[in-house]
């Protein structure tokens, strides 16, 4: 079994490296050849139409062969009647409230913020006062200034007079909750991770290692607190105290921001850095209701026209190749881990 695992592991490593090298070469070649507008393209999709189309496909597929043509004909007549009513100004789509759906998947640097800001601007330009903006949010937080900017984009929706709902299916913690708290309504799945209203920082220090090897480090600053803790130099108790003071100040600002948006919360009791699951968060008034984003959007589709809005890079050939290579590498790694796991299970 061990020989088989070694051979399989070697093969997977070689295949992964080969795919990565081919992908890099192709990307470089195609990048030089392709030109034109590489700006983000706005994609708008009616989720009502998407759901209706999928429902019809399921009905047709599960209908007996002989009755399918009749069902398809009925669907076509229904669509013709709908388009005719819309042209005459009698259609539901002409007067219905609109719900605009945005997605935010946060990383450490909240890298999606610039794109998210442009999406918010596009919606503000066209949305009516009665419209709603739903943000499907997923983020475990990250850099303070990055998530402060991301949260400010949601504040723009409030300033424009639009009702906002944040849906949390998995996690909105720390900076993620800073964004979520700006909404008029927060809906979380039962086991979504919520909270972590706190600030953390860690700085490795290798000064003693350098000192043992007779390596000197000179750190020159202008300004008493230009550097409080360092990686290479010797840290002082005064520097530590100042660093902690800065953390406490950031925490204070975080708490004030949350309190302004959710005044019913007991912020001193909840701003301990702890997390709560969705059902617990509701009891603590960190959220307003329990449910998934999909269930909520299906509910809203019965009352309004729901549109997904997303800015996407152009689907150039080089991008398609890059995504394909990335997917291939990911599948190879997952498959390798699965084989190793299966081999381990067989030995037990």
The residues assigned a catalytic role are 174, 226
Which residues are bridge partners to 49 per DSSP?
Answer: none
Q: Pairing relation of β-strands 275-277 and 193-195?
A: antiparallel
Q: Alpha helix (H) ranges present in 100-182? A: 113-126, 144-159, 175-180
Q: Please give the structure tokens belonging to residue 107.
A: 């990383």
Element (H, E) at 47: helix 47-61
For the chain, how many helices (H) and strands (E)?
13, 9
Residue 162: closest CA among 115, 256, 97: 97
Q: For residue 64, give every residue at least 6 positions away whose Cβ sits within 8 Å of its Cβ, in sequence order, or none.
A: none
Sign of CA dihedral 107, 112, 114, 119: negative
Sign (positive or negative) of CA dihedral 29, 30, 36, 40: negative
- What is the 8-class DSSP label of residue 243? H
Reference 186, options 298, 264, 97, 89; nearest CA is 264
Sign of the alpha-carbon torsion through 264, 267, 268, 270: positive
Which H or E run includes 279? helix 278-283
How crowded is residue 176: how many other Cβ atoms within 10 Å of its Cβ?
29
Gap between the Cα atoms of 306 and 303, Å rounded: 9
In angstroms, what CA-CA distances link 322 with 13, 33, 190, 216? 19, 15, 37, 45
Q: For residues 250 and 144, is the Cβ–Cβ distance under 8 A?
A: yes
């Amino acid at each position: 079994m061990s020989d088989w695992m070694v051979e399989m592991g070697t093969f997977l490593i070689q295949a992964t490296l080969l795919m990565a090298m081919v992908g890099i070469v192709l990307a470089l070649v195609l990048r030089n050849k392709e030109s034109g507008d590489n700006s983000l393209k706005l994609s708008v999709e009616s989720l009502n139409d998407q759901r209706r189309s999928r429902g019809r496909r399921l009905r047709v597929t599960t209908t007996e062969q002989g009755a399918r043509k009749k069902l398809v004909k009925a669907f076509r007549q229904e669509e013709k009647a709908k388009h005719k009513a819309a042209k005459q100004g009698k259609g539901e789509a002409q007067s219905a409230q609109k719900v605009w759906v945005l997605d935010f998947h946060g990383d450490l640097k909240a890298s999606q913020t610039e794109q998210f800001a442009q999406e918010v601007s596009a919606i503000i330009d066209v949305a009516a006062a009665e419209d709603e903006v739903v943000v499907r949010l997923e983020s475990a937080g990250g850099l303070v200034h990055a998530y402060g900017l991301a949260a400010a984009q949601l504040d723009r929706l409030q300033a424009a007079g639009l009702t906002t709902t944040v849906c949390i299916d998995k996690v909105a913690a720390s900076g993620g909750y800073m964004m979520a708290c700006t909404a008029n309504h927060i809906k979380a799945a039962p086991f979504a991770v919520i909270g972590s209203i706190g600030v953390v920082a860690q700085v490795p220090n290798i000064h003693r290692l350098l000192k043992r090897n007779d390596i000197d480090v000179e750190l020159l600053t202008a300004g008493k607190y230009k550097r409080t803790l360092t990686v290479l130099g010797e840290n002082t108790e005064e520097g530590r105290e100042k660093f902690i003071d800065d953390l406490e100040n950031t925490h204070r600002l975080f708490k004030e921001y949350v309190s302004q948006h959710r005044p019913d919360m007991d912020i001193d009791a909840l701003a301990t850095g702890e997390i709560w699951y969705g059902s617990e968060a509701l009891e603590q008034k960190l959220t307003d209701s329990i449910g998934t984003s999909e269930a909520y959007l299906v509910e809203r589709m019965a009352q309004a026209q729901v549109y997904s809005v997303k800015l996407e890079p152009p689907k150039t050939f080089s991008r398609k190749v890059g995504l394909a290579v990335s997917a291939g590498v990911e599948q190879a790694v997952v498959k390798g881990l699965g084989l190793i796991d299966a081999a381990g299970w067989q030995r037990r």
